[in-house]
Every structure is written in C-alpha cells, then in structure tokens.
Structure 1
Amino acid sequence: MLKALNPITKLFVCIIWLTAAVLVFDARFQVACIVIPALALIVFNRTSPLLLLALMVPFALFGLGFLTTSLLFRQESDFALRMAGESLFATPAFSAGITLFLRAIACGTISVFFALTTDPGAAVRAFMVYCRLPARIGYSLFAAMQLVPDLASEAQQMRLARAMKSGRPPRRFPGPVELFSLVIPLLAFAIRRAGRTAIAMEARGLSPDAPRTVLNAPRFGRGDLIFALVAIVVCGLSIGAGSSILR
C-alpha cells in the first residue's frame, strides 16, 4: 500500500515531519514521531519490528551522545547537585537530553519510513520527471544501483578464490586484514565498470539538451492526496495534543 504511493508525495510528507521534529522541542511529540511511522510500517508495509529495532540502533547511539552531553558536559549542568543527593531524573538537563535523544530516533524513524517504502529506481524516475533531475545524474544513480550489488558479488568471488588457493574455507565474516586486501581489487573493478558505463552513456547519445522519454515513471493518484492530507492532519494534531498537555 505504501510502496504504491508516489515517492515525491512521501518525500514531501517526510520533510514536513522532519521539520516539525526539529522545530518542536517536546518529548511527547518526538514519541509520536517515532510511534506513528513505526506503526505505519508494521501495519501497512508488513515490516518486521525486529528489523525496525535493528535499524534504530545507530540513531539511538547518536541520541545517547546528546543525552550524555546534556547531562554531564554542560557548563550549567546539575550533575553536582545529583552528587549531593538530588534526583538526576528531575533536572532540566535530563529533560532536555531526553528530548534530544528522542529527536534523533524520531528523525531516524521518519527516514527509515521513506527508505523502506520507496523503490530507489522509482524515486529517481520521479525526480527526473517531476523535479527536473538532470538525466546525467539520474542515469549515474541507476548505474550506481547496479554497481553496489555487483561489488558485493565480486568481493565474495575474490574471497572464495583465495580460500581455494590456500586450501582453507573462507571465514564467515572477513577480518580487517582481509578487508584491507580487497580494497584495491574492488576499486579497480569499480573504475572499470565506471569507464564502461560512461562509454555506454556517450554511445547512446546521452546529452542534456536531447528530448527524452522516461518509462514507468510513478504517477500521482487519489491515494497520494489522501496520504498527504492524513499525514499533515496527524502531524498537526500531535503538535496540538502536546501543547495542550503542557498547558
């Protein structure tokens, strides 16, 4: 259901929610920015909750840095009062740190919502048609999408070849030394592929001024309008609910 929406619509909605998450300094609204996109992914996109938790780990660590900085490294921090016997959880520093912690996770959840519900190829085609993305940039992005899985396959083939040569099975996860030894061969493979792609693009007459037809470009429909209106209304209600509770 969510994947059928136009990527431009989802990007517009995510930008609104991200802007609100940055401007509204309220922990309750940050919680809403986490829960609502997560529920939408689980209910409508059938996304595994464990996958969402795993994807939120980097954002949680980033937010934890905000929390510890607010508590321990502010000039006017109440850390000394806590050491004197006061509760740390009742200090303004903790309240501000929790809000920043939740904001980092909220921005990550909104970003993951867009990433998990949007096909990269469809997004590039939509940007080319509706946002006037230059064809050279668009086709370069298409080439990069093709290159990334090929790099992983090439790295696996190199590891298998080296394991056969040494007579030992390859490790499940490559170590630092093995990873460093794969950098130069993979870089050479990427340069060769980039050169062939550039030649192919020039051979097909890819120029910025030539007329071009983009096939399978996503279209706007009634669902996009409904989704945008519902998302904006829910965002406004969440902000209003947080403000009323604070009063």
Structure 2
Amino acid sequence: MLRSINPITKLAVCFLWLGAAMLVFDPRFQAACILVPALALVLLNRTSPLLLLALMIPFCLFGFGFLTTSVLFRKESEFALQMAGESLIATPAFSAGIVLFLRAVACGMISVFFALTTDPNRAVRSLMVSLNLPARVGYSLFAAMQLAPDLAAEAQQMRIARAMRAGRPPRRIPGPAELFSLVIPLLAFAIRRAGRTAIAMEARGLSPTTPRTIMNAPGFGQNDLVFAGAAFILLCLCGLLPLRF
C-alpha cells in the first residue's frame, strides 16, 4: 500500500515530519514521531519489528551521545535548558538529553520509513518527470544503484579467491587488514565501470538538450492526497500532545 504512493509525496511528508521533529522540543512529541512511522511500517508495510530495532541501533548510539554529553558534561543550549525546565522529567540536563536522544531516533525512524517504502528506481523516475531532475543526474543515479551490488559481489569474489589461494575457508567477517587490501582493487573496478558507463551514456545520445521519454514514471493520484492528508492530521494530533498532557 505505502509503496504505491508517489515518492515525491512521501518525500514531502517526511520532510514535514522531520522539520516538526527538529522544532518541537518535547519528549512526548518526539516519542509520537517514533511510534507513528513505526506502526505504519509494521501494520501497512509488513516490516519486521526486529528489523526496525536493528536499523535504529545507529541512531540510538548517536542520540546516546547527546544524552551523555548533556548529563555528564552539561553541554546544552540555552533553548534546550529553558524548554527542559518546563518538562516533567527531574533535572533540566537529563530532560534535555532525553529529548535530544528521542529526536535522533525520531529522525532516524522517519528516514527509515521513507527508505523502506520507496523503490529507488521509481523515486528517480518521479524526480525526473515531476521535478525536472536532469537526465544526466538521473541516469548517473541508476548507474550507481547498479554498481553497488556489483561492487559487493566483486569484493566477495576477491575474498573467496584469496582464501582458496591461502588454503583456508573465507572468514565470515573480514578483518581490518583484509578490508584495507580490498580498497585498491575495488577502486580500480569502480573506475573501469564508471568509464564504461560514461561511454554507454554518450553512445545513447544522452545530452541536456535532447528530449527523452521516461517509462514507468509514477504519477499522482487519489492515494497521494489521502496519504498526505492523513499524515498532516496525525502530525497535528501529535503536536497537541504537549498541550493536553
């Protein structure tokens, strides 16, 4: 259901929620900004809650840095202390740290919502059709999306070949030395692929002045209006939480 929404509509809604999460300094609002996208992903997109928890680990670590800095070193802005003094949590330093922690997680959850419900190919096509993204930029993004899995496959082949040469099975997790030794070969592989892609794009007459036909570009429909309206209403309801409780 969520994948059928135009990527531009979802992008605009996510930017609106991100802006609200950055501007509203209240733990209840930040918690709502975490729960609403998470419930939408679990109920409407059938996303595993364990996957969401795993994806939130980097944002939790990032927010934990704000929390420890606020509590241990008392390094927070005057606005944070002023708003934290009006909170129900014990000390201003701890309150400010909690809100900053929840803000980092909320921004991460909103970003994950867009990433898990949006096909990158549809997003690029939508940007090219609706927002006039230059064809060179769009096709460069297509090439980059194709390069990423090929780069991972090439790295795995190199690891397997080196393990066979050494007479041992490949390690499940490569060590720092092995990773460092793969940098130069993978860089050379990426440069070769980039050169071939540039030649292919030039051979197909890709120029900024030539009109091009973009197939399977998503359009706007009634579902986009319903989604945008529901997201705006939910955001307003979340904004009323600090006023009512």
Deviations 1:198-233 (A, max 9, x none): 000001100001011110001111111000000001
RMSD: 1.3
Write the letter of the residue equivalent to 1:32.
A
In the alignment, structure 1 residue 221 sits paired with structure 2 residue 224: no
1:127 corresponding residue in structure 2: 127
Structure 2: segments with no counterpart, 5+ residues:
78-88
Return structure 1 stretches of 4+ with deviation > 4 angstroms.
Answer: none
Q: Distance in 2 between matches of 1:183 and 1:66?
A: 33
Q: How does 1:53-72 map to 2 (within 5 A)?
A: 53-72=53-72
SS in 2 for 1:229: helix
CA distance in 1 between counterparts of 2:76 and 2:242 reads: 27
Identity %: 74
**Are 2:146 and 1:149 aligned?**
no
Q: Deviations over 1:48-95 (max 9, x none)?
A: 000000000010011111111111212699xxxxxxxxxxx6111111
Question: Per the alignment, do residues 185 and 54 of structure 1 end up closer, same or farther by CA in structure 2, a change over 3 Å counting?
Answer: same
Partner of 1:84: none
Hey, what does 1:12 align to over in structure 2? 12
Partner of 1:81: none
Q: How many residue pairs get matched?
A: 234
Look up the match of 1:99: 99
In structure 1, what is the Cα distance between the partners aligned to 2:177 and 2:94?
42
| 1:36 is the counterpart of 2:36 | yes
2:169 corresponding residue in structure 1:
169
- CA deviation digits over 1:158-203, x for unaligned, max 9? 1111122121111111111111111111000000000000000001
TM-score (norm 1): 0.92
Q: Report the Cα distance in structure 2 between the residues aligned to 1:19 and 1:48, rounded to whole angstroms.
A: 27
Structure 1 residue 241, shift from structure 2 partner: 2.5
Equivalent residue runs for 1:224-243 within 5 Å: 224-243=224-243
SS in 1 for 2:149: helix
Alignment of 1:180-199 (within 5 A): 180-199=180-199
User: Distance in 2 between the 1:115 and 1:75 partners?
Assistant: 33
* Aligned-partner Cα distance in 2 for 1:99–1:243: 16
Whole-Å separation in 1 of the counterparts to 2:238 and 2:191 = 49
Cα deviations by residue, 1:123-181 (Å, 9 ceiling, x for unpaired): 00000011111111100000000000000110111111112212111111111111111
Name structure 1 gaps, 5 residues minimum: 78-88
Q: What is aligned with 1:46?
A: 46
CA distance in 2: counterparts of 1:169 and 1:67, whole angstroms: 43
* CA distance, structure 2, for counterparts of residue 76 and residue 61 of structure 1: 18
Amino acid at match of 1:27: P
Cα distance in 2 for residues equivalent to 1:209 and 1:136: 11
